[in-house]
Amino acid sequence: MGADGETAQVAEQTTRVLDRARAARVVRLPDRWLADRVQRMIEPAAVRLELWDGSSSYAGSLAPVGDILVADRRTLWGLAVNPDLWFGESYMAGRLEVRGGLEPVVETLTANVAVPTSWLHRLKALLTRSNSLALARRNVHHHYDLGNSFYQLWLDRELVYTCAYFADPEMSLEDAQVAKLDLVCRKLRLRPGESVVEAGCGWGALAMHMARHYGVKVKAFNVSREQLRYARERASRDGLSGLVEFIDDDYRNVSGEFDVFVSVGMLEHVGVQHYQSLAEVLRRCLKRTGGRGLLHFIGRDVPRPLNAWISRRIFPGAYPPTLAEVTRQILAPGGMSVIDVENLRLHYRDTLAHWSQRFAAAREQVRTSYGEAFRRAWELYLAGSQAAFATGYMQLFQVVFVPRESPPPSWTRADVYEAQFRRHPAGAD
């Protein structure tokens, strides 16, 4: 669907919201007072709040980036009381519409509106963050077992559901995901015959890439049945079953000793209360000499709980940690030294832009199979995440580490980029 199609789509949705508004009660004085409060709250962002009668108290000096259309009184109250949660809830339910593009509006809100984080909120986030083995499985099931066919609608060919690496900014999502898999392998300096444990392997793309291109033996852990089934079939089809073993178990039950530990996009689901067990896993399973590991995760500059709506609807139990939390609570107690950190947040912004485009193109299929509320929830989740990475509200860290006694896996980092220059020799453009 092109830009015209999307415009038509928004116009149609807008009409629907306005139709509903006509049916709603008239706007009264308390509504106007409350709308004014909400408008002032979001005012640092040039976003116009519009009530169900078309009225607005927007008074910004800039032309608004876009408008938030509020369909009824209940939605307005939700926004006033708990915007963090009710923006998403209302959008999902179709009682809130966004004019001017969902991503740009959410991006300017993210960049400019400070969401007050109460102690109660933080406490609640802390209490609900306990991922016991059973709960971890349930939380993973909530998100990752939606059905492989759902993710096949909008992920890349390899089904890589983490930040891609656009080695060249113009490359396709397919290529950028393969580039990411390879970047991880190069940072880990994999050598043929080495043993690798992967914690949280998704649909198996990294495990297969490591085995196929670097000749390592991989034990890949996952608690998502749907993903495992897919990954095993694929390994068998590609003749890699001898090198890659997909294990239906929690990463905390990893046993044995390995040359390499790798985890891409799982740490966000571990939860602060279980960092100690991850530290123990690292201490237990990484070879003290020559061992090394890589954690790839969504992170923060400052600790704060995940957005309440994302936490309720999309990622129950998730928590993106700060670098300090990871080094202090996982790597240091695990006896690990940080060797290398790279922040790839803009690569995640672009990855999410690709996903959003593909998701929009699959709009009708998603609506038919999962319903409109689900489709709207995911649309908002993808746009909101893109905004978070675009604005620096969220970070994407790749951290390479080694057991303290062990030398860094490479003398400099030049070798990681050598392949890039070998493929595109200097001067050849």
Tokens of 420: 């890039």
Residue 192 makes contact with a second copy by CB under 8 A: no
What character string, x for contact with a second copy (CB under 8 A) and - otherwise, covers 110-149? -x--------------------------------------
Please give the single-letter amino acid code of residue 311. Answer: S
Which lies closer to a second copy via its Cβ, residue 69 or residue 167? 167
Locate tokens 């919201």: which residue? Answer: 17
N-terminal to C-terminal alpha carbon distance within the chain? 34
Instruction: Choose which of 341, 353, 362, 373 interacts with a second copy (CB under 8 A).
Output: 341
Tokens of 204: 């198996």
Tokens of 75: 């939605």
H or E stretch at 48: strand 47-50
Q: In angstroms, how far apart are the furthest CA atoms of the chain?
A: 73
- Report how far residue 98's alpha carbon sits from residue 75's, in angstroms, rounded to the nearest whole number: 13
User: What is the footprint of a second copy within residues 145-184 (CB under 8 A)?
Assistant: 165-167, 169
Which lies closer to a second copy via its Cβ, residue 244 or residue 298? 298
**Nearest alpha carbon to residue 112 among 102, 121, 100, 104:** 104
Which lies closer to a second copy via its Cβ, residue 175 or residue 325? 325
In this chain, which stretch among 19-27, 199-207, 264-272, 339-347 interacts with a second copy, using CB under 8 A? 339-347
**Nearest alpha carbon to residue 32 among 2, 3, 13, 56:** 56
Residue 62 makes contact with a second copy by CB under 8 A: no
Least Å from the CB of residue 87 to a second copy: 22
Tokens of 64: 């608004």
What character string, x for contact with a second copy (CB under 8 A) and - otherwise, covers 250-289? ----------------------------------------
Residue 54 is classified by DSSP as S
Residues that bind a second copy (CB under 8 A): 111, 165-167, 169, 301-302, 322-325, 327-328, 331-332, 336-343, 345-346, 391-392, 395, 397, 404-408, 411-414, 416-418, 420-422, 425-427
